[in-house]
């Protein structure tokens, strides 16, 4: 069965057509990992950060986690570490904060929060290099 989050997207989508719901449901069932509403990990290429010669470090202030959401944040963080999406790292001069956005349970297929990671690297002038 199509999850409620997928159903809401489907109902609000311009491409929605009642005859295509079965095809979408079959795709959701076939590619359960893709449509799981969870943050995943792409393990096929290693990412290497290479700073430019003139790169300068900078950091962002951390986002405070409201007391009411500490439990949800801790659970989500532990789950991301367990799934291999994030890993624990030693203290660094490069800071990139993480924050959560609490959502109603039905908005994310039964999950209570989604995690947002800032994409900045903490280095001005850095670029990503993919090792194939």
Domains of the chain (ranges; CATH) run 1-36 (no CATH), 41-131 (3.10.10.10)
Cα 73 from Cα 103, distance rounded (Å): 12
Which pTM value belongs to this model? 0.45
Mean pLDDT check: name the lowest of 21-25, 51-55, 59-63.
59-63
Residue 9: CB atoms within 10 Å: 13
Distance set, CA 51 to CA 37, 80, 120 (Å): 33, 27, 13
Cβ atoms of 65 and 97 within 8 Å: the answer is no
Residue 127's DSSP bridge partners are 50
- Which phi and psi angles does 15 have, rounded to 5°? -80, 0
Give residue-wise pLDDT tens across range 72-102. 778 877 887 887 777 777 776 666 666 556 6
Residue 30 clears pLDDT 80, i.e. is over it: yes
Between 43 and 30, the higher pLDDT residue: 30
């Amino acid at each position: 069965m199509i999850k409620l989050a997928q159903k809401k997207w489907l109902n609000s989508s311009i491409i929605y057509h009642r005859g295509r719901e079965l095809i979408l449901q079959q795709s959701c069932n076939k590619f359960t990992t893709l449509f799981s509403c969870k943050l995943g990990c792409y393990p096929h290429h290693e990412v290497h950060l290479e700073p430019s010669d003139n790169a300068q470090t900078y950091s962002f202030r951390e986002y405070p986690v409201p007391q009411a959401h500490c439990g949800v944040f801790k659970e989500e963080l532990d789950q991301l570490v367990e799934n291999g999406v994030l890993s624990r790292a030693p203290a660094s001069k490069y800071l990139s904060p993480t924050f959560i956005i609490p959502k109603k349970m039905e908005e994310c297929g039964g999950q209570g929060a989604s995690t947002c990671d800032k994409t900045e690297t903490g280095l001005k002038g850095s670029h990503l290099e993919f090792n194939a």
